[in-house]
Every structure is written in C-alpha cells, then in structure tokens.
Amino acid sequence: MLGVVGVLGAVAVWLALLGPLGALFAHLSPSALRTSLSAPHALSPLVTSVEASAVALGVLVAVGTPLAWAMTRNRLPGPRVWESGMLVMLLMPPLVIGLLLVFFVGPLTPIGHGLARLHLSASNTFFALVVAEIYEAAPYYVLGAAAAFTSVEPELEEHAWLLGDTWWRSFRRVTLPLAAPGLASALAMAWARAMGAFGAVLVIAYHPYGLPMQIWVTLQQTGLAAALPFALLLLVVALPLPVLAYVWTARARIASGPDASVGDPAL
C-alpha cells in the first residue's frame, strides 16, 4: 500500500529507534556480565528496585484505580480538571518532580514533620525511593486505567446495578473483567516507569541504590562497560510485564470480536 520506498523508510526509522537495544547486546561481553553480577551485593540494587516498584504499584493500584474510574464516570466535579492534572504530572520532567518533592515531603516540610512522627523520612530512604517512583509512575497508571474504564460502557454497569448488583459486585463482575486488558497495560507501563525511575530518585533517594542509580554510579565510578550488565538487568526485569500485557491485550481484542454489547436495532 505504501510502496517499497515507504516500507524501507518505516524499517529505517524502526531500526534507528531500536538500534540502541542492539548496541547493548553488541557491546556486552559475557565475562563482564559475570564479573559485575557476581560481585558481593551486586544483586541488592535489583532487589531494592523490585521491592520499591512493587510497593509503589500497590499504592497506585489502591488509590489510582478508584480515581481513574471516578474520572471516567463523571462522578467528579469539573471532569477536565482531573485529567489536566494528570497530564501535567505526565509532562513534568522527573528531575523537576524530585526537586519539588524535596520542598513538599522533605524532612523540613510540615508533611516531613508528620512523616517523622511515623518514623518515616522521605530523604535517602527506601520510603523516599517508593515516593519518587510513585510520582514518576502515577500519571501513566491513572491515565492508562482511565482509558481502560472509558472502554467499558457505563450502560453495562447500570444494567448490573438494576439487576441487583452493589457497586463493588458490579465492579468485580463487569467493569474489571472488561477493563482488565487496559488495566494490565496501564500497570505494565507504570511498572516500567517505576523500575526505571531516575530523575526524581536522584534528588530525594540517592540511597538505597536501585538499579537505575546503580547504573549511574557504576558509570561514574567504573565506566561505560561496567554499567552495561546492570542496564541489561533493568531491561530484563522492567520489560516482561509490558510485553505480556501487550500480548494479552491483543488476544483479548481478537477474542471479544466487534463491539459485542451493541445489537444494532433494525430500524
């Protein structure tokens, strides 16, 4: 349809964009991989990253899912405001997020004082890492989940209620199954963001090292080649979930076929 030139152009752009990934494998030597990863505590940044991201995602699912649902069901006053806020978060450079977080939840702020009473500190702690990851990943999850809920017709929820369902029951039996593929991709996107969070982390959670920070520190102290194994590790951990979500979404789309809830009344 595009012609040979068009296809070749597309291939060129695609290769150029994915080229860096190829470079990773071209320059990664097995011996470097072995030495880097077998060093004492070499895997602790991985564990830190996975744990922090898991907690961050847990929080996001718990607070972001209801918010996303309410945003798409006109349950909130000023519907545009909510979406705009999420877009602002999405567009904020991570480094700026980190800076602003210092002035928002840092130890010297009112919130910081409150956290101190709970023996928490949002500065160079595991807690700070989680906070930074939440802020970096939140817009991806909330906007993705909102898109997933938008794809579920509100009429279906109303039918479930009229058939006697409570809100929670209809959410479990109708909304969630229908929004699941979309929610999975939102979750996957947020996971990749949380795992890779760096800008905000650099400012408020230099310690304990997560994987991105480990890459940065290794790069600074030892050099490019030594950082590559950690980059691979990050990719391996951060990517499978998005890829799985993508596959699932595609399969769900095929399985449900054309818009099934609508029977065109023959008028």
188 touches 245 (CB < 8 A)? yes
**C-beta of 5 vs 260, nearer to another protein:** 260
Which one, 14 or 161, has the nearer CB to another protein?
Answer: 161
For residues 188 and 22, what is the distance between their CA atoms, to the nearest angstrom?
23
* 250 counts as binding another protein under rule CB under 8 A: no
CB of 147 to another protein, least distance (A): 18
Question: Which of 44, 256 has the CB closer to another protein?
Answer: 256
Query: What is the smallest separation between the CB atom of 146 and another protein, expressed in angstroms?
Result: 20
CA-based nearest residue to 204, from 114, 86, 120: 120
Q: How far is CA 164 from CA 108, 156, 157, in A?
A: 51, 13, 11
Query: Please, which residue, 58 or 177, has the CB nearer to another protein?
Result: 177
What character string, x for contact with another protein (CB under 8 A) and - otherwise, covers 77-116? Answer: ----------------------------------------
Pair 141, 61: CB distance under 8 Å: yes
Contact indicator for 72, 149 with CB cutoff of 8 Å: yes
Counting contacts by CB under 8 A, is residue 264 touching another protein? Answer: yes
One-letter amino acid at 37 equals L
By CB under 8 A, tell whether 76 contacts another protein. Answer: no
Yes or no: say if 24 and 230 are a contact pair by the CB < 8 Å rule. Answer: no
Output 166 or 222, the one with its CB closest to another protein. 166
Q: What is d(CA 222, CA 112) in angstroms, rounded to the nearest whole number?
A: 35
Identity of residue 123: S
The footprint of another protein on residues 149-208 (CB under 8 A) is: 153, 155-156, 158-166, 173-174, 177-178
Closest CA to 210 of 188, 193, 224: 193
Segment lying near another protein (by CB under 8 A), choices 83-91, 101-109, 148-156, 187-195: 148-156
- Provide the minimum distance between the beta carbon of 196 and another protein in the complex, in angstroms, as a whole number: 33
Q: Which residues bind another protein (CB under 8 A)?
A: 153, 155-156, 158-166, 173-174, 177-178, 256-267
